[in-house]
Amino acid sequence: MDVILRHQHPSGGYPACPTFEVYGYSWFRDGAFIAEGADRAGATDSARAFHDWCARVLTARAERIERIVDTLRSGGTPAAGDWLPARYTLEGADEGDTGWWNFQLDGYGTWLHLLVTHLRRHSADPAPFREAARLACEYLAASWNTPCFDWWEEDSEQRHGNTLAASEAGLRAAVDAGLVEGDTAERARDAAEEIAATVRREGVRDGHLNKWLGGPDAVDSSLLSALTPFELADGELAERTLAAVERDLLHEGGVYRYRADTFYGGGRWPVLAALLGWHYARTGRRADAERQLRWIESQFTAEGLLPEQAPEGLRLAPEREQEWLDRWGPNATPLLWSHGMYLILADELGVLDGTVAGSVAGSGS
């Protein structure tokens, strides 16, 4: 927990990784999960500061969002530079022209979903977030069917299962919680229903959720988010999606992103191990969830830091690792998203106040 608190900016934004030059920004997606972990670990003020930061980022761009929505409703297509970015500087500004892909939709749905979770947990007043939630819902309701980059900043010409799951969950949460009302609530509800129907119609292959809609059969472990926490898939669809991830991407406790991954050689991610463990815990597979927690704990450095990828172990494309080391140096450590997800899983298992909490405090994680 100390790592998260130590590196949170006074504005409330969380850097993805404070020591990795290109990760010095705050993502809505990463940050929302980090805030959820912090909130579960008792750092309520930290979580609230992040949610406040998100609300300020959105309301500061109200006119821009309204223009995007108006363009989409009239049948037009916003220019590439008009879309909201996925990440911002820690002060809440656009990052500028860095030449790095930046159009993703999932973060806004993820934030809405976990904002509602935060507000309900603390019986907090939703009033300070209503305008930001309205803007986020209008944006997602108008744009959800637009191809964009996925969690991994890849495949910008596709509509991704995990992106749609986050968007549907955020819209649904905002409506169910009464965070948005009137015409906005109606548009959000309709969009959520249409997203769910579209995913089931176009986003299923061989009985499991597919990496992208309308594409060839491919499994991506980010699809676990459609099971837990977003709950887009249940029943047999959820079971077969989980089985596909376990079959193709689970290896000795760690979880790969997808089989064709070459980033840093294609290693296993603590974030994804925690996501899998979270679902196991929610579905009564406690021993399997604990196994994921132990694997994550084995990835802590001597300084109590979690990386983006496990530095050791079998890689899917080991011949591609060196090119990333040459480009950006060792893989991002600490990745605050890894720390946040670890706290979520530990709390889901009810061990934050036990031995795990002690090891967290002792390691500085």
* Residue % of the chain over a pLDDT of 70: 96
Nearest to 178 by CA among 130, 118, 108, 250: 130
What would the pLDDT profile of 323-352 be if each residue is shown by its tens digit? 999 999 999 999 999 999 999 999 999 999
| pLDDT confidence band for 356 (50 / 70 / 90) | very low
Residues annotated as part of the active site: 150, 153, 308
Q: What pLDDT, on the 0 to 100 scale, is given for residue 30?
A: 98
Do 161 and 203 meet the contact criterion of CB atoms below 8 Å apart?
yes
Please tell me the predicted confidence (pLDDT) of residue 362. 37
Average pLDDT value for the chain: 94
Nearest to 53, CA basis, from 102, 118, 103: 118
Going by pLDDT thresholds of 50, 70 and 90, the confidence category of residue 359 is very low
Cα-flanking dihedrals φ and ψ of residue 27, to 5°?
-95, 140
pLDDT tens digits, one per residue of 114-146: 999 999 999 999 999 999 999 999 999 999 999
Q: pLDDT tens across 244-272, in order?
A: 999 999 999 999 999 999 999 999 999 99
Q: Identify the band that residue 363 occupies on the pLDDT scale cut at 50, 70 and 90.
A: very low
Identify the pLDDT of residue 358.
37
Check residue 138 and give its pLDDT. Answer: 98
Whether residue 282 contacts residue 344, with contact meaning beta carbons closer than 8 Å, is answered with no
Closest CA to 118 of 181, 59, 38, 30: 38
Residues across the chain: 365
pLDDT digits (tens, 9 = 90+) for 39-85: 999 999 999 999 999 999 999 999 999 999 999 999 999 998 899 99
Tokens of 171: 């819209």
**Cα-Cα end-to-end distance for the chain:** 5
d(CA 339, CA 333): 10
At residue 101 the predicted structure's pLDDT band, cuts being 50, 70 and 90, is confident
pTM assigned to the model: 0.96
Give pLDDT, residue 224. Answer: 98
Comparing 364 with 275, which gets the higher pLDDT? Answer: 275
Percent of the chain whose pLDDT exceeds 90? 92
Determine phi and psi for 252, rounding to 5 degrees: 50, 40
**What are the structural domains, with CATH classification, of the chain?**
2-363 (1.50.10.10)
More confident residue, 101 or 234: 234
